[in-house]
Amino acid sequence: WDILALQANLEDGLAAHAARHGTDLASLGIDTWGVDFALLDRDDTLAGLPHHYRDRRTSGMIDVAFGILPREAIFELTGVQFIDINTLYQLLAMRHANAAALASAKTLLMIPDLFNFWLSGVKTSEWTIASTTQMTDPRTRQWSRPLLDALDLPFDILPPIVEPVTVLGPLLPSVASRTGFGKATPQIIAPASHDTGSAIAAVPATTPNFGYISSGTWSLVGVEAHEPAMGAAALRYNFTNEGGIDNTYRVLKNISGLWLVQECRRSWVRNGTDWSYGDLTEHAAKAPAFRSLLDPAHPSLVAPDDMPTAIRERCAALGQPIPDEPGAFVRCALESLALAYRQTFDQLAEVRGVGIDSIHIVGGGSQN
C-alpha cells in the first residue's frame, strides 16, 4: 500500500475542509479495511510499506500454524474465521522469512490506527479493527498472549486495545498547521475503525434478529450478537466473531464478494473493452439462469492473474458449462454469491438456534 500517499490525501481533505468551511470541526474518525498493518521502528518510522492482504506470502501459513496449534485450539483462543489474509498469517509469514522489518519493529498499528497515530500522536488499537487480526480473545476483548507465544510472534509490539468511540486527543499542532487549522483542535476519535463495524452500526434495524450483507469487494454476511459464537457449529462452518459497538459482536463470514465481477471487468478493460457495471448487469440479465455455479471463496479465485480464465477453469473442474460471454460470467458470479449468502444465513440459524427475520444490504454492492 502507498500509505504515505493515503495520508497525504487525508491531509489534503482536511485542508480542503478548512478552506471551504472553516476550522470549526468538532472531531474526526477514520475507518478502513481490516487485517493489514504497518510496522514502526523505535523512532516511529515506517519499517517498510504495508503489504496488501492479497500478497501471496501467506500461502500455506494456515497449515504452518496448524502444525503448532490445532485448528480447534486457535478457534478457542480467537473465535475468528480461518482465512489466510488474516494478520496472524501475515506475521507468521514474516517470522518464517526472518523479515528484517519484523525484527526491527517496536510497534504494530492496524491501518486506521496508523492514521490515528499520525493525526493525534496516540498509539492504540481500536477493538473492532483489532478483532480482524485473529490475534484477540473475544471474551476479554484483548490480545491473546497464549496464541502469540505459541506461534513465537511478538506480543510487546502490540498497542493497548481501546473500545470504539474512544477520544484519542486533539489534532497534532504540526498537522493543524499543514492543513490550515491553525490553533483549532478537532478531536481525533477512534470510531468502529473497521469499515464493516461502522457500516453495521449504521444499519437501520428495527427487529432483534436482523441479518446483514455488507456488500463490496468482500461480502460480509452475518448478524449482530451480544455474545460471541464459539461452539462446534461456528468452527465447522468457519464463522468469525468480530468486534462491534456497544459491547456487541459481529458473528459473520467473509465471502469473496463483488471482487469476482471487478476483476472480470479489469481483465476486459485491459483487453480493450470498457463495459460499465451497468452494461455488465444488463448483459447478465439476458444470460441463462443457474447455468454455472461455483464457490466464490475457492482459493483459485482469491488472487488470480486473470479472473475470467480462473472462472473458466473452475467451472471446467466442476463439470459445469463454461461461461462464454460477459453476461454469463457476471451471472455466474452474482448467482454464486446469492446462493453463498443463503447458505450462510442457514448456517447462522443453526449456529445461533434462531432464524433471521430481516436482511439489510449495505455498502456499494447494495446498488447492484
- Enzyme catalytic residues: 195
Residue 261 falls in which region: left (phi positive, over 0), alpha (psi -120 to 50) or beta = alpha
Chain-centroid distance of CA 18 in Å reads 31
Element (H, E) at 66: helix 61-66
Q: What are phi and psi of 136, to 5 degrees?
A: -120, 155
Residue type, 85: I
Question: Could you give the 3-state DSSP secondary structure of residue 227?
Answer: coil
Q: Give the contacts of 161 (CB within 8 A, at least 6 positions apart).
A: 124, 125, 126, 127, 130, 136, 141, 142, 143
Alpha-carbon span 153 to 218, nearest angstrom: 28
Cell output for 124: 492504540
User: CA–CA separation, 344 vs 363, rounded Å?
Assistant: 18
Residue 60 amino acid letter: G
Phi, psi of 221 (to 5 degrees): -115, 120
Question: Is 204 in contact with 246 (CB distance < 8 Å)?
Answer: no
Rounded Cα distance between 56 and 85, Å, is 9
Q: How far apart are CA 6 and CA 259, in angstroms?
A: 22
**Assigned C-alpha cell, 105:** 519493529
Q: Which amino acid, one-letter code, is at 211?
A: G
Q: Is 275 exposed, middle or buried (0-12, 13-18, 19+ CB in 10 A)?
A: middle
Using left for φ > 0, alpha for ψ between -120 and 50, and beta otherwise, residue 201 falls in alpha
Read off the C-alpha cell for 70.
490445532
